[in-house]
């Protein structure tokens, strides 16, 4: 169970649907975990910094000296103060209104961007629970708009694990047209289709995200631990790249045969038969 009270808020305001309004806040639902390296000076191993530097004044600049500018021509900027930028903030900077409800399976995942958890603030718990349970019952997701980080995002809100999750989405003009290479349609034999379906069905499984891990990051972590402890690191054995398939039918058959062999090697859990009780000896009279 996630503790929303201890997670940093990315946005706070009101969520409205119809005439109902409830105070909420958003917290990031996921974050990338990776080992990062710092840049060091090769001569003295001092960590290199990237300060704000003005080449005209030939000196470092403090944060208080920074202002925002938009380059409308090469080297020409129009300047803005924070007060001016706040004047053009849309209503969605403070209020997130659900515009409509849609079936979640009608949204192509290519539109999804970042994910957030929605938590109710004080006074909004009952309306939050009502909306969550109603959305779970009807199977619809809400489409809304919210402004964060100088951008008005279109978002989808869905009921999940007894709460509400929000996903920011790309606008349709931001999603690139499909680029799948050659448009040629070579002839596919029925037997090839059958074997391909079999291969897919044999590999079918329930999605369990905990089964997967970042092997590259694991190797980097092992490298860091080994170097810290003064140990040598064994190199990962590189596999040669797969050769292009020449005989598609033969490759499908070999793939299925490999799967069948792997299944046969799996140990079976056999329950032993109960031992028969030895016949009792009759007592001598």
Q: List the Cα angle 139/203/271 in 5-degree steps.
A: 100
Q: Determine the pLDDT at residue 264.
A: 61
Instruction: Determine, yes or no, domain membership for 144.
Output: yes
DSSP string, 35-98: -----B-TTT-PBP----EETTTTEE--GGG--EEEEEETTEEEEE-HHHHHHT--GGGTEEEE
Q: Which of 88-97, 132-141, 216-225 has the highest mean pLDDT?
A: 132-141
Which range marks the domain in which residue 163 is found?
9-31+88-172
Helix (H, G, I), strand (E, B) or coil at 16: strand
263 domain residue, yes or no: no
Mean pLDDT value of segment 197-205: 84
Task: Round to the nearest angstrom and report the end-to-end CA distance of the chain.
Answer: 71
Residue 157 domain-assigned (yes or no):
yes
Residue 160 resides in a domain: yes
Question: Which DSSP string do the residues of 104-141 spell out, in sequence order?
Answer: GGGS-GGGEEEEEEEEE-TT-HHHHHHHHHHHHHHTEE
pLDDT digit string, tens, across residues 168-193: 999 999 998 887 777 678 888 888 88
Residue 282's φ and ψ, nearest 5 degrees, are -75, 140
Highest mean pLDDT among 182-191, 192-201, 225-234, 238-247 belongs to 192-201
- The CATH number of the domain holding residue 141 is 2.40.290.10
Min mean pLDDT across 9-13, 201-205, 273-277 is at: 273-277
Q: How far is the C-alpha of 175 from the C-alpha of 170, rounded, in Å?
A: 7
Q: Does the residue 238 lie in any domain?
A: no
19, part of any domain: yes
Q: Structural domain tally of the chain?
A: 1
Contacts of 133 (CB under 8 A, 6+ apart): 159
């Amino acid at each position: 169970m996630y503790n929303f009270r201890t997670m940093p808020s990315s946005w706070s305001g009101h969520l409205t649907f119809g005439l109902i309004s409830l105070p909420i806040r958003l917290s990031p639902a996921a974050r990338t975990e990776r080992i990062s390296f710092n840049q060091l000076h090769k001569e003295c191993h001092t960590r290199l910094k990237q300060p704000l530097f003005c080449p005209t004044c030939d000196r470092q600049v403090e944060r208080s000296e920074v202002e925002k500018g938009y380059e409308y021509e090469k080297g020409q900027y129009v300047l803005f103060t924070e007060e001016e930028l706040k004047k053009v903030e849309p209503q969605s900077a403070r209020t997130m209104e659900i515009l409509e409800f849609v079936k979640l399976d009608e949204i192509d995942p290519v539109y999804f961007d970042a994910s957030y958890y929605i938590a109710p603030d004080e006074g909004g718990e009952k309306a939050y629970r009502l909306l969550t349970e109603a959305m779970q019952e009807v199977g619809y997701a809400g489409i809304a708009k919210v402004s964060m980080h100088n951008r008005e995002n279109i978002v989808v809100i869905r009921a999940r694990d007894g709460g509400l999750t929000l996903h920011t989405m790309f606008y349709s003009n931001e999603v690139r047209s499909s680029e799948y290479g050659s448009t040629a349609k070579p002839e596919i034999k029925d037997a090839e289709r059958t074997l391909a379906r079999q291969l897919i069905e044999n590999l079918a499984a329930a999605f369990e995200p905990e089964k997967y891990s970042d092997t590259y990051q694991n190797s980097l972590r092992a490298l860091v631990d080994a170097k810290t402890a003064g140990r040598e690191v064994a190199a990962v054995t590189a596999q040669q790249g797969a050769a292009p398939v020449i005989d598609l039918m033969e490759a499908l058959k070999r793939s299925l045969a490999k799967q069948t062999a792997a299944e046969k090697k799996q140990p079976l859990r056999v329950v032993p038969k109960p031992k028969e009780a030895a016949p009792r000896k009759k007592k001598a009279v």
